[in-house]
Structure 1
Amino acid sequence: MIGILTFFQCYNYGAYLQAYALHKYLKQKGYDNEFINYRSKLSEKNEYRHLVTVDGKKSGAYFRILLKMLRFKIYHRKLKKTKRFYHSEDLNTIHYQTVLVGSDQVWCYTREWGGFDPVYFSYGINARKIIAYAASMGPDNYDREHPEVINSLMKNFDSIGVRDTNTFQFARLFSGKDPQIVLDPVCLYDFEKECKETTLEPYILFYSDALTPSETVIDELQRTAKEQGLMLVSLGKKFSWCDTNILSASPFEWLGYIKNAQFIMTCMYHGLLFSIKYRRNFAVFLNEHRKNKCLDFLENAGLTDRVIDRETKFAAIFASPIDYTRVQKFLDKKRKASEVFLDNCLKDHG
């Protein structure tokens, strides 16, 4: 049995889908696996407060947000997992031959709900072999000052796969090993059976947690949608300038909305990956703490021309198709390398 330690029991589409993808990929390869159902109470509390309040007051979309959380809980229950653990000390009661830490930004501790949690850096993990797969620091820069304990904990990893250059530098600095940049698990699994088709009329999809582009870009986005006869749809968050706000989609309905969009505007890492996965035309808007997550991937894939900045006009990107033949060659090469990495890590797993 392989244990997976990652974010899977939160209410974020990308977090759930990356966890689900890794679980299913390992099953396809013949590896039985389960999620280590660990999360601190502080992390749960902070995420709940963030979801249901705006400026300290109950959100106007409170009941739709609760419906979204309920639907996520249904999907959480479908995953194979251990009993619930709230404290790192309790993890000593379970043992694995192999534990995979990741993917997602499990090594980001300044912006995650529970703050610094040494468990994700290997503390308390009872396993013969500890592997990181597609782990990320998210917006935390590798050269910032880190908690001292990280220096010793990172040396417990037998192999380290990361999903971006910033995390590569961090892992190499603190582990003393040679990390490898690998693909997020959603790029290893096809979701063909899970994706639920939508029935919306043609639309431009906007996907963001809270970040918005400039007023100029929003005006362009609205104008282009009107000129093209398309609805402007926000997925997962309410924005008053969108025609429709879909707040309570299930994870697999979320896939359908991405897959069937005429165009996607996003600042989210998994919004970007699924736009590419389904070969959608898309644009990305970023701020400083999003660059580590998205810009690195766009640079490697040769897609930096999809980034909207002060000089770039949305209408120009909207009218510019993507050469997915070239992008697919990059993905195929990285997918093969990622699969080889995992195979090598798990080849002596009993």
Structure 2
Amino acid sequence: MIRILTFFDCYNYGAYLQAYALHKFLIERGFENEFINYRTKKSINNEFNEELKPGAKNIKLYLKILFKVLNFKLYQRKLKKTKPIYVSADLRNMKFDKVIIGSDQIWCYTQEWGGIDTTYFSDNINAETIIAYAASLGPDNFNKQHPRSILRLMKKFDHVGVRDYNTLNFAKLARPDDKKGPHLVLDPTLIYDFNKEIKMPSVKNYIIFYSDKLEPSHDVIANVKKIAREKNLKIISLGKSYDWCDKNIISLAPFLWMGYMKNADMVITCMFHGLLFSVKFQTEFMMFLNEHRKNKCLDFLKRIDLENRVINQPEDVVDLFNTKINYKKVDSFLQTEIKHSKEFLISALTGN
């Protein structure tokens, strides 16, 4: 039995879908697996309170957010997992064969809901083989001064696969004697096809806005609204409410969320998985970023040679709407990386 330690129980579409993708990828290849249902109560409470905050003065919005939370919990219940574990030390008495830690920004120890949690660096994990797959530091820079405990724990991994160059450089610094890696691999959402799960919406002719709170400048928004009017497109926000959007869908199933992304005329996002699913479905997209987002998003954009899809000035919105993405070149890159990512993971699990 393979165990997976990652963020799977957040109220975030990308987090859920990366966990689901890894789970299903392993099952398709004959690897029985379950999630280590570990998360501190501090982390759970902090995220829950932050999620509900926008509805504090709007009971209608509050109820929609609450329904979103309950909807995520329903889908999280479908994943096979251990009993709940809230204290890292309780993991010491649990003996595992193989553990995969990842994907997502599980190594971002400065900005996650519960603060520094060395469990995601293998602390208290008692296993024969420990593998990192598509782990990320997120916005934390590799060349900062890291806690000694984290650098020490990095040496416990038997195989290390990361999803961006920033984290790759971190792993090289932490594991200078690692002759097997580290390896640069793709997020699980890009190695699993979701063909059986995706649900398509009934609506057409729309722009998707997907963010976790961050908004572009007023001038950028004005240009987006202007183009939407000219092209007779509705602006639909997924997961969050923004008063300038034509429609806000606060709660929707993860697989319907994918359908909305695939069927969009344009996706405007600052989110890493908003980027990945746009690329996966070959949807036209543009990104607005801040310093917090640059490490993980610009890295992937550069690898697929699409860093020109970032909005730097308000007038870029018009150009990006009128410039089609050459997905033939992107797809060629992805096929090579998908093959490498799958081979890395299977080899790490089988020892071949």
TM-score by length of 2: 0.96
Q: Which runs of 5+ in 2 are unaligned?
A: none
1:298 aligns with 2:301: yes
Code of the aligned partner of 1:137: L
How many angstroms does 1:311 deviate by? Answer: 6.9
Sequence identity (%): 53
Instruction: Go from structure 1 to structure 2 and tell me whether the alpha carbon gap of 1:326 and 1:40 turns closer, same or farther (over 3 Å shift).
Output: same
| Farther-moved stretch of structure 1 (147-156 vs 78-87) | 147-156
Tell me the residue number matched to 1:75. Answer: 75
Contact 1:52 1:59 (C-alpha < 8 Å) held by counterparts:
no
Tell me the residue number matched to 2:256. Answer: 253
1:102-251 aligned at under 5 Å gives the runs: 102-176=102-176, 177=178, 178-251=181-254
How many angstroms does 1:59 deviate by? Answer: 7.1
1:19 aligns with 2:14: no
SS of match in other structure, 2:98: strand
1:3 aligns with 2:12: no
SS of match in other structure, 1:308: coil
Question: d(CA) in 1 for partners of 2:316 and 2:189?
Answer: 30
Question: d(CA) in 1 for partners of 2:58 and 2:162?
Answer: 37
Code of the aligned partner of 1:110: T
Instruction: Go from structure 1 to structure 2 and tell me whether the alpha carbon gap of 1:58 and 1:106 turns closer, same or farther (over 3 Å shift).
Output: farther
Question: d(CA) in 2 for partners of 1:139 and 1:220?
Answer: 29
1:63 aligns with 2:66: no
How many angstroms does 1:49 deviate by? Answer: 1.0
Question: d(CA) in 2 for partners of 1:255 and 1:76?
Answer: 16
Correspondent of 1:319 among 311, 318, 322:
322
Code of the aligned partner of 1:145: Q
Contact 1:157 1:175 (C-alpha < 8 Å) held by counterparts:
no
Contact 1:23 1:33 (C-alpha < 8 Å) held by counterparts:
yes
1:347 aligns with 2:350: yes
Deviations 1:30-74 (A, max 9, x none): 111100000000000100111001497677611001101111111
Code of the aligned partner of 1:128: E
Tell me the residue number matched to 1:41. Answer: 41
How many angstroms does 1:183 deviate by? Answer: 0.3
Number of matched pairs: 349
Question: d(CA) in 2 for partners of 1:119 and 1:341?
Answer: 23
Question: d(CA) in 1 for partners of 2:136 and 2:234?
Answer: 34
Question: d(CA) in 1 for partners of 2:48 and 2:16?
Answer: 16
How many angstroms does 1:312 deviate by? Answer: 5.2
SS of match in other structure, 2:154: helix
Correspondent of 2:336 among 333, 337, 340:
333
Contact 1:205 1:265 (C-alpha < 8 Å) held by counterparts:
yes
| Farther-moved stretch of structure 1 (324-333 vs 60-69) | 60-69
Code of the aligned partner of 1:127: A
Instruction: Go from structure 1 to structure 2 and tell me whether the alpha carbon gap of 1:148 and 1:256 turns closer, same or farther (over 3 Å shift).
Output: same
Question: d(CA) in 1 for partners of 2:110 and 2:60?
Answer: 28
Q: Which runs of 5+ in 1 are unaligned?
A: none
